[in-house]
Structure 1
Amino acid sequence: MSEETKKLPGPRGGGLLGSLKEIGDKAHVTWTKWSATYGPIYRVDLGPLGDSVVLSDYNLFKKAFEGDSDVFSGRYVLPIVKKSGSHGSMAWENGEIFEKRRNLMMKVFEKADIDKMTQNEVEAFCDVLKESQQKSSTTVYRMVYEANLNLTIAFCFQRGKRCPYDDETFRERIRLMNNVLEARKNLMAEKGNIFPFLWSTCLYGKFRRIHNEQRTYINQELSVRDVGDIGTVQDLMDGYVAKVDGIDFPAKECIVHIMNTMGATITLKNAMQWLILLITRHPEVQTKIQTEVTSVFGDEVPTMEGIDKVPYTSATIYETLRIACPAAQVVPHMTQADVKFEGYDIKNETVVFGNIWGLHHDTKYWEEPETFNPDRFLNSEGKLDLDKESYVPFGLGKRRCPGETIAKRVMFLYIASIYQRYGFEEVEGHPLPDVNDGVLFAGLHNPPPYKLKIVSRSDDKNNK
């Protein structure tokens, strides 16, 4: 077959949903199996998304998203996303408007004191751990979720101030966020993508109401935000209202941007839940982290200045991002022109996925990829070694996660601070899940809920 007529291989689809049902709730596993059958680049029928392309090889991933980034950096916007009014954020925009809004976000990251916000939140988190020690079991899983949402809200529109976990307003925001995540858990397979007119029917009444409720309470915060009161930009809403560094957007557009930011940071929550789970499943790893953190920080509050002195702690974070892969697949890219790629003709506006899970479990690059081993990110001298091919937990190219640096800082401060004072053990009668038990929910790789026993450090000087 000549290159001009070469067709992408792939599983047989068909029907309104294509291969979506066949993919199931573990798309990352299915896609990796299909890559073994059809090769590192193949076609898959995703129903409302049409014939999409999946990349499951590091070199192809890099070539597409970095080498041909202008072509492959578009974003496919689902019909249901358009109907719900989710334009106005980086996740669902293309071209210059995407670049401009990303720039605004990065400027706010520079000006807001994320480290201080994180330290405040982790202190409150550790206080809850202390209060919960005497309980027979504690749902740390849920506690991580609430701490992450609180930190996100502080960054988005609370000017760095956190809410007490038992605050009525905060509990209401938890309820709303739960509802939003539940409504969006099967975003790609929604019937409204196939039949957009269904959006106006009772079928999506709850979906519309949930999104309107979230918009309403964010708009209430915006309505009392006065540009004259803004000195230093302290949160994302300030960035819009004060037009940070001259980046001019209508202030109202911050509402949708905040809504999507709150959803996007669930990836950080997943990473933290996986971290604590995997560390608990490997007591020797927990002991090494505790020993390392204590030797560097003693009973002082961990700070970023000491990160280079605790390489094993950082290596554990990176290994968790590899093996558990919270973002098992990239949010769908879309080609912005016809392109010849690896001998295949790929049309303009074709959806393209990068199978990050497959890259992180590729035996060509990783020895025993199913084994949790932080040492793989350390060199012979015990120093952190991040020069790894086929490691892309935050994606590549123009669509690379803008919050990567912040996420790494937050994870480090949390892990260092928590294990400086506490450890965790499995609760009798509640076996801990493993990486293979994770499922995709709202497009992210989630660990099942778990319970843990909280254990204070034996060295009393580290307890507060």
Structure 2
Amino acid sequence: MLTEIALFLVVLVLLLLLRNKDPPGLPPGPIRWPIIGSFFFLRRLEDYLAIRDKFGDVVRLGVGGCNFVLIHSYKLAREAFSKYEVTDRPPWKVIEHLGDGKPGIIGRNGEGWLQSRRFHLRNLRDLGMGKSYLADAIHHEAKLMVEDVRHYTDKPTPFPQSISVAVLNVIWQLVASRRYDLHDEQILELLALIKEFQQQVKFLIFPDFFPWLNYLPDKLLRVLFKYDMREKRTARAKAFVKEFIEDHKRNLDPSNPRDVIDNYLIELDRQNSDSDSDVFSEEDLIRDIFDLFVAGFDTTATTIRWACLYLAAYPEVQKKLQKEIDDVVGRDTLPTLLHRPRLPYVEATLHETLRLAPLTISGAPHLCTADTQLDGYHIPKGSVLCAVICAIHHDTRYWEQPEKFFPERFIDESGNFSAPKEGFIPFSVGRRSCLGEALARMELFLFAAALLQNFSFAPPEGREIDLEPLDTPGMVLPKEQDIIITSRT
């Protein structure tokens, strides 16, 4: 009897392996084991680099019911993500931050996404994104942030929350004409909501990859994937945002819109009077605002933390950067956008940080909605394409000694900052590149320059800075650790 059972299991495994074998014309890739696939062998940057070295620039692998195509080439990522048929996001529940069955602007598809992106991009630009007059608001937040950070000097401390709140305040002012005290409990609660989502994403993503899990008993699902916690977080986030929308509705002046919410409500009223238009809704506004918060603040705040950690680990780079700030700006005033062209090493250091520590390993996923071709391979409809940003940023075709933290690679022979033209995509590329890239770059420069002008960062005595990312699937987040902040004034 045992022999028959063993034989049956062997035959079953062989059948499953044959079923998972790629037909001709598809990209190469590792073996896809029954049920678990091959994706979970990829956790660290080294795993992705090993896959690239073995199989090439385009790699196909699978997990559960999903077929993935990993792109390790800058040029192929640009080509793929410029295709109309590779514009959509996959219909994953994990992308639906507010958990009510519909995504925000990050996960939305079709005409609704296109109109929402155009609307938000136009309004963010009109409200100052990428323009010098928004720098005044950032400058004010940077000043308050510096004053607060002084309370954490000369002792081992985690990164002060005020750094994140200062960045988030800029988004709030664009979206809702509101800023918060750096220690306001309400804004700290929003930060906690975002952090909770990052910590729980590893649980939330399983039912998307393994749809059969959804047939488990509801009580078991709620325990395994923490649905109760997600629903509570959803209710808190929606109530938080809805309060601002209701206040804007009471005080709306259509002839004098103040921010994104005002402009959205005006557009919503216009579309409600047009029976043929139903793209915008108040529920969409709530989801879009939360997406703008998560994407708009998290990239910048996390990159600032990474920059401080790298400079703490490389004190010679920190000294060189601070000398440049002292020579150009001095100590009496904070750096401004007018100083930016004369601070090439600051720019180079921030770009090197973005190269080594982009927010995500492989960027946001793209769904292939029709059969297509890439690098001579057939990409079937339904495939999920991801540009492996970390691998592209470690591509020796563009970067010499890519594992090294070396800001000088962004400085040309004349000593000027030289922006990379290829091999660098921290904000993704193509039709769905980051909506707030211009704002993120402005904030990153002004906040980081203000911090490094006023403080030095170092590891606590007897310790080293840990530059290994937190073990969070798909993310490149710094580990929580103490640092020593020393005032330079």
TM-score, L = length of structure 1 = 0.88
Cα distance change on mapping 1:310 and 1:97 into 2, 3 Å: same
Deviations 1:83-125 (A, max 9, x none): 9236352211223222211112212322334423322322221
Cα distance change on mapping 1:138 and 1:333 into 2, 3 Å: same
RMSD: 2.6
Specify the alignment match of 2:237 in structure 1: 214
The one-letter code sitting in structure 2 at the alignment partner of 1:53 is: V
Specify the alignment match of 2:266 in structure 1: 242
**Cα distance in 1, alignment partners of residues 197 and 101 from structure 2:** 13
Give yes or no for contact 1:112–1:233 (8 Å, CA) kept in 2. no
**1:91 paired to 2:122:** no
**Cα distance in 2, alignment partners of residues 210 and 62 from structure 1:** 36
Specify the alignment match of 1:254 in structure 2: 285
Specify the alignment match of 2:54 in structure 1: 37
Specify the alignment match of 2:147 in structure 1: 127
Q: Which SS does the other structure have where 1:53 is aligned? A: strand
Q: Which SS does the other structure have where 2:484 is aligned? A: strand
Q: Which SS does the other structure have where 2:59 is aligned? A: strand
**Out of 158, 164, 167, which is 1:145 matched to?**
164
Specify the alignment match of 2:186 in structure 1: 169
Specify the alignment match of 2:452 in structure 1: 419
Cα distance change on mapping 1:197 and 1:268 into 2, 3 Å: farther
**Cα distance in 2, alignment partners of residues 368 and 192 from structure 1:** 35
**1:431 paired to 2:448:** no
Deviations 1:369-407 (A, max 9, x none): 111111111110011111442111111110111111111
Deviations 1:278-309 (A, max 9, x none): 12222222122222222222322322122111
**Cα distance in 2, alignment partners of residues 316 and 368 from structure 1:** 16
**Cα distance in 1, alignment partners of residues 480 and 400 from structure 2:** 29
Cα distance change on mapping 1:344 and 1:375 into 2, 3 Å: same
Specify the alignment match of 1:310 in structure 2: 343
The one-letter code sitting in structure 2 at the alignment partner of 1:228 is: L
Give yes or no for contact 1:438–1:445 (8 Å, CA) kept in 2. yes
**Out of 246, 249, 256, which is 1:223 matched to?**
246
Question: Equivalent pairs: percent with the same residue?
Answer: 25
Cα distance change on mapping 1:171 and 1:57 into 2, 3 Å: closer
**Cα distance in 2, alignment partners of residues 139 and 326 from structure 1:** 20
Q: Structure 1: where are the runs of 5+ without partners?
A: 458-462
The one-letter code sitting in structure 2 at the alignment partner of 1:441 is: T
Number of residues of Structure 1 aligned to a counterpart in Structure 2:
445
Give yes or no for contact 1:111–1:234 (8 Å, CA) kept in 2. no
Cα distance change on mapping 1:147 and 1:37 into 2, 3 Å: same
Specify the alignment match of 2:73 in structure 1: 57
**1:282 paired to 2:314:** yes
**Cα distance in 2, alignment partners of residues 112 and 245 from structure 1:** 20
**Out of 320, 323, 327, which is 1:295 matched to?**
327
Give yes or no for contact 1:43–1:54 (8 Å, CA) kept in 2. yes
**Cα distance in 1, alignment partners of residues 149 and 442 from structure 2:** 21
Give yes or no for contact 1:267–1:444 (8 Å, CA) kept in 2. no
**Cα distance in 2, alignment partners of residues 357 and 343 from structure 1:** 24
Specify the alignment match of 1:118 in structure 2: 138
Specify the alignment match of 1:369 in structure 2: 402
Give yes or no for contact 1:86–1:256 (8 Å, CA) kept in 2. no
Residue 150 of structure 1 and its aligned partner are, at CA, apart by: 4.0
- Higher-Rg structure is 2
**Cα distance in 2, alignment partners of residues 388 and 438 from structure 1:** 27
Cα distance change on mapping 1:81 and 1:356 into 2, 3 Å: closer
Residue 171 of structure 1 and its aligned partner are, at CA, apart by: 3.2
Cα distance change on mapping 1:34 and 1:18 into 2, 3 Å: same
